[in-house]
Structure 1
């Protein structure tokens, strides 16, 4: 936080011999403090202007208060013409080597995690394109289950037809009636099997 001024030539001349502040009858203590402050040169950052004097805000405030009490026609803003607020350079403390090493380690770890997250989808796509043994096994099992289901459907319908045809000989004497009864029973059994198959397929699709 700024607390001093770089005194301009106007303030230095006003406090010097024959200056404007001589007739203001400054208190001895205030004059001694101002002369001591203006007597110390400070090498500022602007090398073109050369060393300049630093005056604290407290001394400037005391000077302003004295001028107001005397109802002086010499105003403070006139005395401070050419002066500048001094902002000291902030010296950064050296960083802890252990903290720097830890931060670098955390950065590397975060970079690796980000790389894995980005390349994770690419790896999955490549595996899906090339195919794996597990995917092949799943496909073989699906085809096998479908073949078994179709075979069971055909065997069930055929068995229902044969059983009805043979059992209807005790009811119907004509072959046409026996065949019609067998077809009706086989159709009912086939529709029931189809219903069960559709429900099972819907369950499998729902799990996917």
Structure 2
């Protein structure tokens, strides 16, 4: 905390030029000693007494005029040396926090890569299941048609009747297979 001012040109001129001759001798001597000291530091207590003396004497010179050009002397605050144990502990904490921050930032990156590959694998399995189901549907319908066409030769002599009966049976088998396939896909899509 500031407790003194560094004397400016106006205060020096007033003290040396005799403008403050009406001041008590002790106060004037104290002011001259302060001005002659190293750095010309004038304490606030001396300035208060100077202000009071100027007011009582009815002096035409005001304190703010005397302090023109003065600077407040702010003493340097001594910085205590840091405890090496505390410094080491702070460094460990900073390193730990930086490591946690790094892990937090990279967790999503690593998770996305694994998640993307896992999602890709899941989609491949789903597509594989759909392809197998469609292939099974086609094979079942074609087989039902072929079996009915070949088996109906013992019942029908005409080709048109054989084809018509094979199409009807293949359609019924196809609709039944389609119903089962939709139920299966709906169940698989519900799990995704």
Give the TM-score normalised by structure 1.
0.60
Residue 188 (structure 1) aligns with? 175
Q: 1:94, CA displacement in angstroms?
A: 1.5
Residue ranges of structure 2 left out of the alignment (5+ in a row): none
Q: Supply the distance in 2 between the matched residues of 1:7 and 1:95 (Cα, whole angstroms).
A: 36
Residue 149 (structure 1) aligns with? 133
Q: Please tell me whether residue 89 in structure 1 is matched to residue 76 in structure 2.
A: yes
Q: 1:185, CA displacement in angstroms?
A: 1.5
* Cα separation, partners in 2 of 1:176 and 1:112, compared to 1, 3 Å: closer
Contact kept, 8 Å, 1:160 with 1:185, in 2: the verdict is: no
Residue 40 (structure 2) aligns with? 53
Q: Supply the distance in 2 between the matched residues of 1:147 and 1:82 (Cα, whole angstroms).
A: 93
In proportion to residue count, which structure has more helix? 2
| Match of residue 57, structure 2, among 70, 86, 89 | 70
SS in 1 for 2:46: helix
Q: 1:176, CA displacement in angstroms?
A: 5.8
Q: Supply the distance in 2 between the matched residues of 1:123 and 1:177 (Cα, whole angstroms).
A: 58
Q: Please tell me whether residue 2 in structure 1 is matched to residue 2 in structure 2.
A: yes
Q: Supply the distance in 2 between the matched residues of 1:97 and 1:179 (Cα, whole angstroms).
A: 94
Q: 1:4, CA displacement in angstroms?
A: 0.7
Q: Please tell me whether residue 121 in structure 1 is matched to residue 106 in structure 2.
A: no
Residue 22 (structure 2) aligns with? 23
Q: 1:20, CA displacement in angstroms?
A: 2.8
* Cα separation, partners in 2 of 1:187 and 1:11, compared to 1, 3 Å: closer
Aligned residue-pair number: 186
* Cα separation, partners in 2 of 1:8 and 1:188, compared to 1, 3 Å: closer
In the TM superposition, what whole-angstrom CA distance separates every residue of 1:72-95 from its partner, at most 9, and x where no partner exists?
123334433553221111221212
Contact kept, 8 Å, 1:164 with 1:182, in 2: the verdict is: yes
